[in-house]
């Protein structure tokens, strides 16, 4: 009797089918109420006690073999039907391909990089976790300098010398330490300041800072560079520079671009003046050059910095900076057609 069970088990394992009807017939033959398995279970009462264990194990093996065959053949048939449904009908409309969207921060950053790369600026990057020297001291902000209060800083409590960078000027310091003039580089990246989060400000945002160091660099070179940038970026050629203060540049200035007063939005953005502040700039302070190992008597240079987030809000008419970091798919999908 056990040999007969083994023969059926071999038959079940070798069974092949090409239709659901053949699989169902096999299932009924082996697993149905009047099938082979039930017949063997009925014979179990006639088996001697010393053979019941071996006989029961053989029946269970036959049952598992039949069930596994049915499951495998059903899955194979279903997969073939699915493939045929997807690929067999040549008149079937193609499946839509979802196009990804660049983040507005990436869009604006890439535009800025592209504009400055045309006039010889390379891209430099540095760590977001900085030390006091590169973030403050080397930039003419020694300890207890009152201008440090201009930037509310996130310090690492376990080490007061370690902090989250407050500007990408720290990248410029690292670049000057490793490279001798001529230097022409921009430093895009994320920065952190301990500020209240609102529709117009955030505790982290993105900057691009530029640096040009060479012999006989003048303020006129700085203005011409910024004139080129604003024309390429905004299509606006009229700018003005207002005197300002930054510890690492002297003289320093705020840069405004004339946006115009053609629409109601223009009035709101420029507060009715037509002028819009876009960045800060200035001639690199000689102390900064000396701190970075560059001879300030032989070389001079200029630096500038702007907020990527602010320009993204401006160009894409976004009214809340928090949208840039909330990862709302409905918001991001609006930029699918952007470069």
State residue 327's pLDDT score. 84
Residue 100 pLDDT > 80:
no
| 311-335: average pLDDT | 85
Q: Which residue has the higher pLDDT, 121 or 16?
A: 121
Encode pLDDT of 3-46 as tens digits: 777 777 788 778 888 888 888 888 888 788 778 777 777 777 77
Listed in sequence order, the residues at least 6 apart from 85 whose beta carbon sits closer than 8 Å to its beta carbon are none
Residue 124 pLDDT > 80:
yes
260: left (phi over 0), alpha (psi -120 to 50) or beta: left
pLDDT tier at 223 (50, 70, 90 boundaries)? very high
CB 176 within 8 A of CB 148: no
CB 137 within 8 A of CB 171: no
Give me the residue spans of the domains in the chain. 2-87, 104-335
Encode pLDDT of 274-296 as tens digits: 898 899 999 999 999 999 999 99
CATH number of 104-335: 3.30.930.10
CB 283 within 8 A of CB 302: yes
State residue 228's pLDDT score. 95
Q: Which of 73-87, 145-159, 173-187 is modeled with the greatest confidence?
A: 173-187
State residue 265's pLDDT score. 77
Q: How far is CA 100 from the centre of its chain?
A: 12
State residue 88's pLDDT score. 59
Q: Which of 169-178, 196-205, 315-324 is modeled with the greatest confidence?
A: 169-178
| 243-251: average pLDDT | 93
Helix axes 20-31, 36-43, angle to 10 degrees: 10
Residue 114 pLDDT > 60:
yes
Distances (CA, A) of 7 to 36, 46, 62, 73, 158: 12, 20, 9, 20, 75
pLDDT tier at 126 (50, 70, 90 boundaries)? very high
- Give the residue from 204, 237, 224, 236 showing the smallest Cα distance to 281: 224
pLDDT tier at 84 (50, 70, 90 boundaries)? low
């Amino acid at each position: 009797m056990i040999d007969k069970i083994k023969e059926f088990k071999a038959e079940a394992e070798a069974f092949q089918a090409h239709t659901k009807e053949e699989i169902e017939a096999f299932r009924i033959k082996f697993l149905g109420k009047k099938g082979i398995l039930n017949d063997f279970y009925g014979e179990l009462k006639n088996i001697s006690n010393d053979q019941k264990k071996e006989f029961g194990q053989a029946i269970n093996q036959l049952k598992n073999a039949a069930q596994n065959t049915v499951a495998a053949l059903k899955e194979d048939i279903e997969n073939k039907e699915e493939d045929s449904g997807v690929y067999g009908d040549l008149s079937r409309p193609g499946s839509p391909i979802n196009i990804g969207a660049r983040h507005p921060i990436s869009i604006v950053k890439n535009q800025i990089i592209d504009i400055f790369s045309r006039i010889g600026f390379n891209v430099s990057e540095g760590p977001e976790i900085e030390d006091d020297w590169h973030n403050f001291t080397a930039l003419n902000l020694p300890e207890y300098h009152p201008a440090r209060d201009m930037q509310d800083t996130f310090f690492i409590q376990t080490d007061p010398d370690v902090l989250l960078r407050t500007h990408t000027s720290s990248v410029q310091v690292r670049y000057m330490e490793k490279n001798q003039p001529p230097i022409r580089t921009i430093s895009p990246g994320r920065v952190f300041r301990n500020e209240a989060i609102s529709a117009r400000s955030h505790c982290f945002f993105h900057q691009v800072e530029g640096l040009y160091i060479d012999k006989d660099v003048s303020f006129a070179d700085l203005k011409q560079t910024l004139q080129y940038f604003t024309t390429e970026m905004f299509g606006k050629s009229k700018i003005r520079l207002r005197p300002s203060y930054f510890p690492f540049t002297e003289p320093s200035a705020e840069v405004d671009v004339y946006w115009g007063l053609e629409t109601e939005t223009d009035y709101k953005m420029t507060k009715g003046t037509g002028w819009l502040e876009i960045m800060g700039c200035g001639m690199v302070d000689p102390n900064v050059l000396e701190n970075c190992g560059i001879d300030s008597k032989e070389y001079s240079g200029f630096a500038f910095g702007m907020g990527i987030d602010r320009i993204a809000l401006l160009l894409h008419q976004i009214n809340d900076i928090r949208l840039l970091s909330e990862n709302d798919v409905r918001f991001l999908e609006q930029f699918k057609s952007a470069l």
